[in-house]
Structure formats: structure tokens, C-alpha cells
């Protein structure tokens, strides 16, 4: 897009494009959640089974070392799957929050953004610079 064309893009058009993209991204998350939940359930069962087997073996049993290695491997897999599941859950929460935000923008709630743009246009600090300055003040107090 040329610079002149960018000026023609209205905030409303931009919000609609962002909402469309966000909604499109959100459609894949339930499938991903189901897959990660299934994977996590399977990993949990494997780890539990390996732990039960390990605990059933007496100290000094020749198979205990192999059982311990299997348990550690399954437990590591369980932790990885739990982490991946949490990432998907966090993505769903983030997506819902972002959709709510952009829907409010679609309803014309641009006020604070336009205030910030006007302040910067007049030579004032951006919201990023203001937040950084505030954080510096709070850090020195």
C-alpha cells in the first residue's frame, strides 16, 4: 500500500479488518484445545501408570532402573503437555479479551486513542513514554 492509500483507510475499516482476523484466528483454538486436552490426558495416564509400576517394584529389583527411566520420561512428557495445554488456554483467554476490546472499538470507543494521537501530534509524550516515565518514578520511590 502506498502512503497516500494509507490515509484513506479509516479507523473503522482497520477495526473491521482486525476483528475479522481475530475471529478467524479464534476458530482454530477450540480444536487445538481439544487436541491438547487429549494429549495431556494420555500423558497423565502414562505417567501415573509408570509411577505405579515403579512403586510396585522392590528396591534392588533389576527392572527398577528401567522403570525409573520410563517414569521420568513419561513425567517429563506430562509436564510438557500440561504446559502446551496451558498455552492454548491462555491464548483463548487472550483472544476473548482482544475480541471484546476490538468490538468496543467497533462501537466507536476511539476516544482514548484519538486523545493520545492528538497529544503526540502536539509534541507531548506517547503513552509508551508516559508509562516508562511512570515506571521509572515508581522504581526510584
Q: Where are the domains of the chain?
A: 9-109, 110-141
Examine the pLDDT at 141 and tell me if it is beyond 60: no
pLDDT on residue 63:
92
- Give the predicted TM-score (pTM) of the model: 0.68
Please tell me the distance from the alpha carbon of residue 3 to that of residue 15, in angstroms, as a whole number. Answer: 19
* pLDDT of 126 over the 90 cut: no
The residue with greater pLDDT, 74 or 59, is 74
pLDDT band at 3, cuts 50/70/90? low
Rounded Cα gap, residues 15 and 100, in angstroms: 12
pLDDT at 106: 81
**pLDDT digit string (tens) for 82-109?**
999 999 999 999 999 999 988 888 887 6
- Burial label, 39 (beta-carbon count in 10 A; 0-12, 13-18, 19+): middle
Element housing 92 (H / E): helix 64-106
| Residue 82: how many other CB atoms lie within 10 Å | 15
Amino acid at each position: 500500500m502506498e502512503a497516500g492509500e494509507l490515509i484513506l483507510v479509516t479507523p473503522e475499516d482497520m477495526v473491521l479488518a482486525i476483528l475479522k482476523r481475530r475471529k478467524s484466528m479464534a476458530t482454530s483454538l477450540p480444536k487445538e484445545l481439544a487436541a491438547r486436552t487429549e494429549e495431556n490426558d494420555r500423558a497423565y495416564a502414562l505417567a501415573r501408570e509408570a509411577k505405579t509400576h515403579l512403586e510396585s517394584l522392590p528396591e534392588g529389583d533389576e527392572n527398577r532402573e528401567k522403570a525409573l527411566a520410563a517414569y521420568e520420561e513419561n513425567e517429563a512428557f506430562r509436564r510438557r503437555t500440561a504446559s502446551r495445554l496451558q498455552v492454548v488456554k491462555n491464548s483463548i483467554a487472550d483472544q476473548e479479551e482482544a475480541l471484546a476490546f476490538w468490538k468496543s472499538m467497533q462501537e466507536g470507543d476511539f476516544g482514548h486513542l484519538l486523545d493520545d494521537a492528538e497529544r503526540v501530534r502536539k509534541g507531548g509524550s506517547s503513552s509508551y513514554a508516559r508509562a516508562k516515565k511512570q515506571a521509572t518514578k515508581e522504581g526510584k520511590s
